[in-house]
Amino acid sequence: MRKVSHQARSKNKSIGFVPTMGYLHKGHLSLIKKARRECDFVIISIYVNPIQFGPKEDYKRYPRDLKRDKRLAREEKVDVVFIPKDKDIYPDGYQTYVDNEGSLSEGLCGATRPGHFKGVCTIVCKLFNIIKPDRAYFGQKDYQQAQIVKQMVRDLNMDVKIRVLPTVRDEDGLAISSRNEYLSLSERRRALILYRSLQQAKRMIKEGIKDVSYIRNNIKDKIKGIKPTKIDYIEIVDSNTLKRVNKIDREVLIALAVWIGRTRLIDNMIISHKPQASSRKL
């Protein structure tokens, strides 16, 4: 992989890189298409990184279909699909990890999936070192991950530009995810509540409602109505620092992680605090 990447670079080609865990869907494809438009040489990786999964998480049953992934990559004119093996990435004697120890990883998935972002930073750092891309593409669907990767790039002086692209949704609004594969038909219907409650929160903010606990409770009641197995979090945080806010007085991220049956789904929305002209003030 290093050799191929080096060859492209020595021909003055810009390298775009899309790291994925495979089971490609329209969300991944939007990143790949953007990389294809912006870069001369496009590399994607497919690697289900064991160290970013907790011991009770879905590492073993995570959906995999390399044949289909390779076909989709070919259709998108990807130059290289990098599919490393565990023993290449974490050979015997492996000892070095990269972690975010600051506020960006304190809340949200950092709190509910301990060790997750250490696994993410480590694999992304390793992939960047192997591939040395000019640009790397991430989805807003995993907003906290993208923020943490940007911080890692700044903190560790990595020479790569991070691009974050909007969440791709199914027609009914459900954020597309490889994990949607786990959902039964009725679970999928119930899962729509994530997007709907985000939309409702957005409407409330646009109407001028500023009280965060009021908005959170509203989302919570809505989600509880579909009897989720568990709510991991419903948070309203500053979109830059990811720290909780009490009042909608800046751009915020509303982020959710909800279990529906055995499936943990996440979704989020960025909302600016400017109410629409005609709205009431509370």
Q: Which residue has the tokens 């790039």?
A: 153
Among 116, 135, 141, 264, binds ligand AMP (CB under 6 A): 141
122 binds ligand AMP (CB under 6 A): no
For ligand AMP, which stretch binds (CB under 6 A), given 87-95, 171-179, 242-250, 262-270? Answer: 171-179
In the complex, minimum distance from the CB of residue 136 to ligand AMP, in angstroms, rounded to a whole number: 9
Q: How far apart are CA 102 and CA 95, in angstroms?
A: 22
Among 20, 144, 239, 268, binds ligand AMP (CB under 6 A): 20
In the complex, minimum distance from the CB of residue 82 to ligand AMP, in angstroms, rounded to a whole number: 13
232 binds ligand AMP (CB under 6 A): no
Among 28, 36, 118, 190, binds ligand AMP (CB under 6 A): 28
Q: How far apart are CA 125 and CA 240, in angstroms?
A: 22
In the complex, minimum distance from the CB of residue 177 to ligand AMP, in angstroms, rounded to a whole number: 5
Alpha helices in the chain (DSSP H): 2-10, 26-38, 66-75, 86-89, 108-112, 116-131, 143-155, 185-206, 212-224
Tell me how far CA of residue 142 lies from CA of 8, 168, 269, in angstroms: 29, 12, 11
Q: How far apart are CA 202 and CA 264, in angstroms?
A: 23
45 binds ligand AMP (CB under 6 A): no
Measured from the CB atom, the residue of 177 and 197 that comes closer to ligand AMP is 177
Q: With residue 230 as reference, give the H or E element that holds it.
A: strand 230-238
168 binds ligand AMP (CB under 6 A): yes
Q: Which of 144, 101, 111, 142 is nearest to 233 (CA)?
A: 111
In the complex, minimum distance from the CB of residue 30 to ligand AMP, in angstroms, rounded to a whole number: 6
Binding region for ligand AMP (CB under 6 A): 20-21, 27-28, 30-31, 138-139, 141-142, 165, 167-168, 175-178
